[in-house]
Structure 1
Amino acid sequence: MLNYTEYHIMGKVAQVRMKPDCIPSKFGCQEDRRKRTCSSTERSCVLKKQRMAIITECLKEQEETQSSHDNTPHKSSDLQTIEEPEMPCPLKMDKSLQAEISCAQKNDKSIQATMTPKFRSKAIQSKIKTLNQASSPLKPSITSSSTSPFKNKTIQKLCTSVSNINKVTRNILIEEEQSDNDIYVPPVASCSSSSSVHSLQLKSSSDCSELIVEDKKLEAEKALTNTTKKIEKNPRFYLGVPNSGYFLIDILKDEINIPKHYVMLCLNKIRMVFKFKQLKDDYGISPANLNKIFMKNIPLIAKFLHPFVVELDKDMIKKNLPMAFRHKYNNVSCIIDCLEIEVQKPSKAVNQAMTWSDYKKANTIKYLISCTPNGLVNYMSPGFGGRTSDTCILESCDFIKTLKSGMVVIADRGFKHVEQYLKKSNITLVRPPSVETGVKMSKSEAKLTKQIASLRIHIERVIRRLREFYMLKPHVCLNLKFIKILDDIIIIACALINLQDSLVK
């Protein structure tokens, strides 16, 4: 390049200028390269002109022959017919003229291609029609010797014995006397017989349908009895009800006026989170009806079990206070913490934002749970979106109304902003000391954190028992249709936990 610096470095010039001797010399040594690479010879113009002249001459000759043939007068001798057995045509033409006409009809000299008439190949003159015996209306007649009215005669098979003394005859098909089934009786056309047959058919079909319905009922009853026996053996595993409190199901049945297996179904669904298709085999009810039963009866069961969530009583708490609280924290009334349950992602963007939890990295519903020092649940808040902070939930719900002045509440570090809010109601908050980033805790702060954590662990154990109900597990991803009854499900779970054996022994 002549202008390399101006084009690449300075950027003044927009066009590249090459040096005059800048010609590629890679193939300069191969002088005959074009001759060797170009194998096809060029077409000369002389040959083309000669061909066009030949075509024009042929066309002129054809036109002159046709005009001379039209101008010649017809004589009577020319119209006379000569009878020849070999020539069927009455008019005989000159052979050279016939050849020219046929050539004019068949050959077009400008195209230089012979036009041949279309003909059909003999190879495709006939079409083979195949008949599929399986789909054809005319079925091949196949008669079985066992079902046909005319039985085969006995066939004697001669078997020579070893000693060749006698011959044994064996009947392959034994003759049977013609039974009533072998005789074909044509039907008699009569109105009375047809009506009777029709009525018999209706009766038989109705009887069959009744039998099928009865069989289904028997199967459903058998499945129900098997499930009740299975649940009675281990109600804690299948329902979350302790073995000593199984009588509660009978009380629920009488109080709510619903069948016993409906109560068992609702508690079993909360405890094991079986799909309705699985519960169909256990209870003999269709999945759609099971869904209706569950959604309808859960609020009724929650309303009945809500009194099992105890109220705070200072005297009773002090009487049943565990040993770990008696030395320094004998005034503690309850321990609080939040429980998060993962749900499916909502379709609306607003609901997605409200339920998103940065702590769980999922869409969740959050509840405030409070328990007494000995592990009994005394309060559960309504559900809030996972985005809501712990302090906001405590301020929004009516938890402070359950507390009395002078009570002490233990909480986690996340509730530090609630301290001022609780002091207005003369309630003290006990929580581990807050730690600043980059600052090491002192020995006294570490000791205090350890003491409070050893007491606060009881609320974590309560939450662990709640997680035993598979519908409240951390990563269960609850269906959105169950969110409207999730508060009732939490109440049922907390009530059944209080009925179980004591948490602190």
Structure 2
Amino acid sequence: MEEVKKLSYKYCIVPKCTNTTRKTPDKVFFRISSDAKIRKQWCKVMRRDNISPKSCLYCCEDHFNVKEDTENYIEYNLMKEQGENVLYEERSFATYIFVSKRRMPLPKERMAVVKMQRLTLVNEALSSEIAIKSSVSEPSQRSDHEVSPSTSHTNVCDQPGCSTSRIGCDDLQVELSTSHIEKTLHCDKAVQVNIKPNYRSKGVNVNIPTKKQNVALSPFPFVTQNIGTSPVKLSVLKRKLFTENTADTISISSYFSSTSSTDYEPSYQSESSEVLSDSEKEKQFKYEMCSIMLTAIEKEPKMLLGLPKQSYHLIKLLSDNIPLPSKHILITLKKIKLNESFSILALQFGCSQSTICRIFSRSISLIAAKLKDLIVWPASSDIYNNLPISFRRRYGNVVSIIDCLEIQIEKPSNAVHQSLTWSQYKKCNTLKYLISCTPDGLINFISDGYGGRATDVMIVQDSSYLQALPPNKAVMADRGFKDLSCLLEAKRCTLIRPPSVSKSTPSTKNEVKLSKRIAALRIHVERVINRLREFHMLLPHACVDYNLIPIIDDVIIVACGLVNMQDVLIKK
């Protein structure tokens, strides 16, 4: 029994095949011959190493066509329950196809090969068209020199000296008619081939019989359509684009003269003139850009410079009193107003970027020295005469409204400078300025720049504001200047500010009214600061370059001078 069990276990030796008598007991296993030569051929077909001829090996039915490769397949199916019958192989092993044999798929055609095939087809089509046209023209040329077959037949049979019989004439007639048919068939065949060949691109066959005209100079675009891809056929245009009448032809020069400006002339009209070099074209472009920008500044000085149009004569006064051309003054003022990059200014004014940088750094101090004269402290009588009505009842003695403004700068690399410029209020590195204006909105004082860490009272004390303040006058300020009263008392001046607010005790009714009244009057200095903020270099978060910090004092002086040249802040 043990021997029977040992022999009953079979497995398939084909690679990648896992069939056994235990896993698949219903499958049939064919025994491989023990002949060494046959086994070597089996291993070659199965693509595996040679096996010993002494071992008993099997191959399952999945790798055979059992019905065709066995002799007693029907008998085996009838007697399968008894297990006595055995299937006998009919064909040799060479006919067997193993399922486990994996074959690599055929490689796909490369795109380059496909393109070459397409080009070959197109070239063959074009060459066949030329050959067809030549073959059609040859029979027509030969027909002029050859004699027609019917005429030859009549002349031969009707000759008086003809001794041939009727049969001979008939034979000759048949022979000539046959040659005539052959020639006719040959000509018809050539004509038949002249049918439109199957081109891959139908656009090649399009021959539009129109009057030739230079398309590049035509002001009208041609109506075109791809015949090969469009499902809709082109309809014949009813209107003729090009008429034969010379009076109706369109003149290119008249077209350009009607559509373009008078200052511009097309380049094709001056073909004989000298062609401008690249350097000359660049010079012409820079000149045109500069002239356009100067014209725009003349028309909109308030938008581009921050200077009202009625005060534009200030540019000429500056150029007369400063050794600077007016162009340099405009470049400097435009940089302060719009804070454009030097590369943009170089493009607008037709200069290089380095030239613009030198112009700005050299001009700003000279312009600031002249415009500083516009920041004046008027006499007390002049301030009182121009005092707004809202100040006259209770605050007629006010000559100055003060506040501080801050401008963000780049973070300095030095740790000490970082600490000095850090603003706890703005949460960034800033420059801080003290500004003062009269009740009617005229800027009468601007301090130098301080680090954002400096307090308001410290800037008032360190700057020359107290020296410019006349005695026995009143100063209006915000709550942040609460410690300023002791400094003003030394000048016999009074400080007008909203009452302090405490978290522990609520404000009384009179304190709230006083705060509201002072805030309504102190708002004028905020409006002046908003006018300064219109200059983009003085925006709260302008983030001024660290290299430009030394000239920010001059920038704010120029801005204050231009603000004083604008319309009055409070209209009476």
Give the TM bin, normalised by the shorter chain: 0.5 to 0.7
| Letter aligned with residue 301 of structure 1 | I
* Equivalent of 1:158 in 134, 142, 146: 134
1:143-187 deviation per Cα after TM superposition (whole angstroms, max 9, x unaligned): xxxxxxxxxxx99953748x97999xxxxxxxxxxxxxxxxxxxx
1:400 to 466, 490, 499: 466
Aligned 8 A contact 1:342 1:477 in 2: yes
Partner residue, 2:325: 259
Task: Write the distance in 1 (CA, Å) between the matches of 2:527 and 2:396.
Answer: 20
Corresponding residue for residue 419 of structure 1? 485
> 1:470-481 counterparts in 2 under 5 A?
470-481=536-547
Q: Does residue 295 of structure 1 match 2:361?
A: yes
Which deviations, in whole Å up to 9, do the C-alpha atoms of 1:404-445 show, x marking residues without a partner? 111110000111111011101111110111112221100000
Deviation at 1:261, TM superposition (A): 1.3
Which residue is equivalent to 2:420?
354
Tell me the alpha carbon deviations over residues 197-227 of structure 1, each in whole angstroms, 9 at most, x when there is no partner. xxxxxxxxxxx99944333222211111010
Compute the displacement of 1:456 (Å): 0.3
Amino acid across the alignment from 1:444? N
Alignment-derived partner of residue 268 in structure 1: 334
Give deviations 1:304-352, integer Å, cap 9, x for gaps.
1111112131111111111110111111101000010000000000000
Q: Work out the CA distance in 1 between the residues paired with 2:497 and 2:134.
A: 108
Q: Distance in 2 between matches of 1:159 and 1:225?
A: 70
1:376 matched residue in structure 2 = 442
Correspondence for 1:387: 453
Does the alignment pair 1:438 with 2:501? no
1:339-368: CA deviation from partner (whole Å, max 9, x where unpaired): 100000000000000000000000000000
Equivalent runs, 1:42-121 vs 2, <5 Å: none
CA offsets per residue over residues 439-471 of structure 1, 9 Å max, x none? 110000000000000000000000000000000
Q: Name the CA shift for 1:349/1:209 in 2 (closer, same or farther; >3 Å).
A: farther
DSSP 3-state at the match of 2:403: strand
> In 2, are the aligned partners of 1:312 and 1:333 still within 8 Å (CA)?
no
The letter of the residue matching 2:400 is: C
Aligned to 1:499: 565
Q: State the secondary structure of the residue aligned to 2:435.
A: strand
Question: Which residue pairs with 1:363 in the alignment?
Answer: 429
Task: Name the residue aligned to 2:256.
Answer: none
Compute the TM-score of the two structures, normalised by the length of structure 2. 0.52
**Is the 8 Å Cα contact of residues 280 and 286 (structure 1) preserved in structure 2?**
yes
Give SS of 1:229's match. Answer: helix
Letter paired with 1:293: I
**CA shift for structure 1 position 250:** 1.5
CA RMSD of aligned residues (A): 2.4
SS at the partner of 1:158?
helix
How do residues 242-257 of structure 1 correspond to structure 2 at under 5 angstroms? 242-257=308-323
In structure 1, what residue type is equivalent to 2:383?
I
Q: Tell me the amino acid that sits aligned with residue 289 of structure 2.
A: A
Q: 1:341 aligns with which of 396, 407, 414?
A: 407
Is the contact between residue 312 and residue 402 of structure 1 (CA under 8 Å) also seen in structure 2?
no
CA 1:219–1:393: 2 relative to 1, 3 Å: same
Bigger mean CA deviation after superposition, 294-303 or 213-222: 213-222
Task: Please give the alpha-carbon distance, in whole angstroms, between the structure 1 residues aligned to 2:275 and 2:331.
Answer: 29
Aligned counterparts, 1:149-228, within 5 A = 158=134, 160=136, 211-228=277-294
Q: Which amino acid aligns with 1:419?
A: S
Q: Which runs of 4+ in 1 moved over 6 A?
A: 163-167
* CA shift in 2, pair 1:500/1:159, >3 Å: farther
Tell me what 1:462 maps to.
Answer: 528
**Out of 311, 326, 335, which is 2:377 matched to?**
311
CA contact (8 A) 1:383 1:487 kept: yes
Q: Which residue of 2 aligns with 1:50?
A: none
TM-score calculated relative to the size of structure 1:
0.59
CA deviations on 1:375-396 (whole Å, 9 max, x unpaired) are 0000000000000000000000
Q: Secondary structure at the match of 1:477?
A: coil
8 Å contact from structure 1 (residues 241, 496) kept in 2: yes
Q: Give me the identity figure in percent.
A: 44
Q: Which amino acid aligns with 1:158?
A: S
The equivalent residue for 1:489 is 555
Deviations 1:74-110 (A, max 9, x none): xxxxxxxxxxxxxxxxxxxxxxxxxxxxxxxxxxxxx
On the 8 A contact 1:370/1:377 being kept in 2, the answer is: yes
CA gap of 1:363–1:209, structure 2 versus 1, over 3 A, is farther
Q: Shift of the alpha carbon at 1:280?
A: 1.4
Answer whether contact 1:391 1:418 (CA < 8 A) is retained: yes
Q: 1:427 and 1:155 mapped to 2: Cα distance?
A: 113
